[in-house]
Amino acid sequence: MLDADPGLIIWAWITFVVLLIILYKVGWKPILSTIDKREKTIQDALDNAEQAQEEAEQLVAKHQEMIQSAEDEAQKLLRDNRELAEKSKQEIIEQAQKSAKNMLDKAKMEIEKERDNALLTLRSEVADLAIAATKKIIGEALDDAKHREIIDEYIRKIPDSSKN
């Protein structure tokens, strides 16, 4: 079938080896150099991407930290404002209570003063009525000073209704 000529096979092998050596010397080094450059470029790109990703993660962490800090500050401000409002509310209530107590105390003092004035007026009128009645009953007039002294002494002996 196929007849292989040994001389042709040897020359084919020699040509093949020579071609391999020429390709090795001429083409292999540039191909390897290009592959090495491409590999280095890809590795640099991967390293840069990894570094950029780490920086992005650090920035995200920093932003989250800043957001958390801002939220904490806002919560603190809200708490402080609530405490201040509660304190102001308590002060206003206390001031209103003091004012109401002062007004009540003044009213009680005014009432007490008016009651005392009314009692003095009543005593004076009772004394005058007693003197007038005594003059009519006795028919003679004692001096006013003596009548007043007797009536005042009698009125002092009457129990004070304000103590009840």
> pLDDT tens digits for 5-44?
888 889 999 999 999 888 888 888 788 889 999 999 999 9
Q: Is 67 exposed, middle or buried (0-12, 13-18, 19+ CB in 10 A)?
A: exposed
If one compares 157 and 103, the residue with the highest pLDDT of the two is 103
Measured between alpha carbons, how far is 107 from 163 in angstroms, rounded to an integer?
19
Angle between the N-to-C axes of helices 144-157 and 29-138, in degrees from 0 to 180, rounded to the nearest 10: 130
Look at residue 157 in the predicted model and tell me its pLDDT. Answer: 73
Look at residue 7 in the predicted model and tell me its pLDDT. Answer: 85
Q: What is the pLDDT of residues 129-151, one digit of tens each?
A: 777 777 766 655 567 777 777 77
Number of other CB atoms surrounding residue 151 within 10 Å: 19
Look at residue 96 in the predicted model and tell me its pLDDT. Answer: 94
Tokens of 1: 């079938």
Measured between alpha carbons, how far is 154 from 147 in angstroms, rounded to an integer?
11
Percentage, residues of the chain above pLDDT 90: 54
Look at residue 164 in the predicted model and tell me its pLDDT. Answer: 46
Number of other CB atoms surrounding residue 124 within 10 Å: 14
Look at residue 139 in the predicted model and tell me its pLDDT. Answer: 57
pTM here is 0.42
Among 95-99, 109-113, 133-137, the range scoring the smallest mean pLDDT is 133-137
